[in-house]
Amino acid sequence: MDILTEALSSMRTGQPASVRTEGRAPWGLRLPPVAGAGFHVVLYGTCWLVPLDNAPGAEPIALSPGDVLFLRDGRGHILADQPTTPAEMEGHGQYRAGTPIGTVTLGGDGPRTSLLCGNYQLDQGRPHPLVRQLPEIIHLPTRHGRHPELSAAVQLLGSELENPRIGSTGIVPALIDSLLLYILRAWFEDQPPAAAAGWAAALGDSAVAPALAAIHETPSTQWTVEALADRAGLSRAAFARRFTTLVGEPPMAYLTRWRMTTAARLLRESESPLTTVAAQTGYSSEYAFAKAFKREYGEAPGGYRRAARAA
């Protein structure tokens, strides 16, 4: 069971939105906060990311060709050729029919920088704890030989954007979508084993990872702490402590969270009757399921489904 993919799928509310940004020095682009998570890929040239807040550690970040940035909460920021260059809200936009992304051009007549910028539509109202524990900004600089798959995806993306051909309209969105998984995989793999904590440690833990996989694979099973501890090869108490430390909540609390997350996705994306949704998420009756769902989401399953379809 690929828990990373499952966690992201549970938050996804739509396809990624993207724009090709072409700047010539001096240039600066002010980007307001967005719903979901933001990303930037430097395809050519250099630039700086300047955070818009004064939080500790919110220093300008120098970016080079091939660098990838992931902004967990879609926070507002500035992209510019230099940290001190004044920024404008938007450049000159162009969106051609039949192309997967738009373009923005801005600046003067100096050195060129080309980026792919955009956002992944993720529901931040109820983020999966795996995503919530990520750093606010993940910067993956170009490193020779590191994360070859991510580097290859960036190169393929740059090639398709520089020279669109037959099939590019389908290829580019798929590459952008895959980029999110490559970014997060690279970040998790970069965590030193001795320093890994939280979900970065949980996904590789010999006891917790099998328990998480079991919950994700069959949330309808009537799991108990004892049954999950048996899979982990630990005593009930030792397993519960280890799970809670790494995941951030006790096993049964996470089981309920994932059942409700799964139920919400089924309500949004399928026509399954409530009795079927209840059975697939471990509830013996529609009444028990509806009561649990309303406790988590603040509304009945039927109302949630109608609101999701109307959005």
For residue 103, what pLDDT band results from cuts at 50, 70 and 90? confident
Q: What integer is the mean pLDDT of 170-186?
A: 90
DSSP code of residue 220: T
Q: What percent of the chain is modeled with pLDDT above 90?
A: 59
Is 47 within 8 Å of 115 (Cβ atoms)?
Answer: yes
Q: How far apart, in Å, do the first and last CA atoms of the chain sit?
A: 30
pLDDT reading at 121 higher than 60: yes
Do residues 220 and 251 share a domain?
yes
The better pLDDT of the pair 45, 189 is held by: 45
Which pLDDT does position 33 carry in this prediction? 86
Which pLDDT does position 310 carry in this prediction? 84
d(CA 179, CA 265): 23
Provide CB contacts within 8 A for 146, sequence distance 6+: 186
Do residues 34 and 134 share a domain?
yes
Residue 62 lies in a domain: yes
Do residues 168 and 267 share a domain?
no
Q: What integer is the mean pLDDT of 153-179?
A: 86
Which pLDDT does position 90 carry in this prediction? 64
pLDDT reading at 145 higher than 80: no
Is 279 within 8 Å of 266 (Cβ atoms)?
Answer: no
Q: What integer is the mean pLDDT of 140-152?
A: 84
Which pLDDT does position 220 carry in this prediction? 96
Q: What integer is the mean pLDDT of 85-92?
A: 76
d(CA 263, CA 255): 12
Is 139 within 8 Å of 186 (Cβ atoms)?
Answer: no
Which pLDDT does position 197 carry in this prediction? 81
Q: Is 99 exposed, middle or buried (0-12, 13-18, 19+ CB in 10 A)?
A: middle
For the stretch 247-289, pLDDT in tens is 999 999 999 999 999 999 999 999 999 999 999 999 999 999 9
Q: What integer is the mean pLDDT of 279-304?
A: 95
- Which range marks the domain in which residue 51 is found? 3-190
| CA torsion, ordered 96, 101, 102, 105, to nearest 10 deg | -130
For the stretch 19-74, pLDDT in tens is 889 999 999 999 888 888 999 999 999 999 998 866 555 789 999 999 999 999 88
CATH number of the domain bearing residue 224: 1.10.10.60
Find the length of the chain: 311
Do residues 235 and 108 share a domain?
no
For residue 100, what pLDDT band results from cuts at 50, 70 and 90? low
Please, which residues bridge with residue 50 across strands?
A: 78
Do residues 154 and 80 share a domain?
yes
Do residues 84 and 139 share a domain?
yes
Residue 195 lies in a domain: no
pTM: 0.85
Is 248 within 8 Å of 133 (Cβ atoms)?
Answer: yes
Which pLDDT does position 154 carry in this prediction? 87
Residue 53 lies in a domain: yes
Number of domains comprising the chain: 2
CATH number of the domain bearing residue 33: 2.60.120.280
Q: What percent of the chain is modeled with pLDDT above 70?
A: 93
Which pLDDT does position 34 carry in this prediction? 84
Average pLDDT, the chain: 89
Which pLDDT does position 218 carry in this prediction? 95
Please, which residues bridge with residue 37 across strands?
A: 120
Burial pattern 274-283, b for ≥16 Cβ within 10 A else e, equals beebbbbbbb
Residue 157 lies in a domain: yes
Do residues 260 and 154 share a domain?
no
Is 46 within 8 Å of 62 (Cβ atoms)?
Answer: yes
